[in-house]
Amino acid sequence: MNVLPTEEELMVKNAAREFLDGECPPSLARAVEQDERGYSVELWEKMAALGWFGISLPEAYGGGGLPVTYLGLIIEECGRANAPVPMHSTSTAALAVAKFGSPQQQESFLPRVARGELIMTWAVQEQDPRLRADAMQCRGEVDGDSLVINGIKHFVDNFSAAELMVVAVRTAPASDTNAGITLAIVPMTRQAFRNTATTLAKGLSKQT
């Protein structure tokens, strides 16, 4: 199996590097540390104009329909440039909606992601750091037309900037045929969540 990038993938990777070299100097990340929004709106809008956020989303929802390897190469370059934008969290959550969401959810959210109008994040990890279904204890209980979620999630990237969060919750005991885990799309209202910043290193923090 050939694991080397194709010519088309290298073109995307090199174009992303050239763009970020010109638009994302180290001073930008330092400036964003003092910005309560937590990301560079100007850089975000420029990246949206390039179609990066929808590159691997379905074409039916305004995306490019390309394999996720293209998205991965762009995110790799964002990491290299220390780009202060919530691309990884938004892309991860959007791909989950694209794969598991209902047609109504896909129609509501994915075009907005592709246009750069919607920032998303995801919440999976809990006190048990293993990313396994049996490690998840955050519970979701159906109450009429609502899903009531109670629990704690750790290391939620871009918590303050996101409008929607994909949360993995336990809605049933595990069985031989079902892990009992549901992905819920939750609006990021301040009445629903309490977040605590965790300092990882100087200038870096995640949300709990």
Name the domain count of the chain: 2
Residue 150: per-residue pLDDT: 94
Specify whether 138 is located in the same domain as 39. Answer: no
* Containing structural domain, residue 114: 7-118
Instruction: Provide the CATH number for the domain around residue 79.
Output: 1.10.540.10
* % of the chain exceeding 70 in pLDDT: 92
Q: What average pLDDT does the segment 72-101 reach?
A: 97
- Beta-bridge partners for 208: none
Sign of CA dihedral 59, 64, 69, 73: negative
Q: What average pLDDT does the segment 20-48 reach?
A: 95
Q: What average pLDDT does the segment 17-23 reach?
A: 98
Residue 89: per-residue pLDDT: 97
User: Could you give the angle at the alpha carbon of 160 between the alpha carbons of 154 and 162, nearest 5°?
Assistant: 95
Q: What is the pLDDT of residues 180-197, one digit of tens each?
A: 999 999 998 766 777 776
Quick check: is 25 in a domain? yes
Quick check: is 139 in a domain? yes
Q: Is the pLDDT score of 202 beyond 70?
A: no
Quick check: is 2 in a domain? no
Quick check: is 111 in a domain? yes
Q: What is the pLDDT of residues 157-176, one digit of tens each?
A: 999 899 999 999 999 988 88
Residue 63's CB is within 10 A of a number of other CB atoms, namely 21
At 3, the pLDDT band (50, 70, 90 cuts) reads confident
Where among 90, 118, 146 does a domain terminate? 118
Within 8 A by CB and 6+ apart from 173, the residues are: 180
Specify whether 181 is located in the same domain as 200. Answer: yes
Contact 111, 51 (CB under 8 A): no
Residue 148's CB is within 10 A of a number of other CB atoms, namely 11
At 206, the pLDDT band (50, 70, 90 cuts) reads low
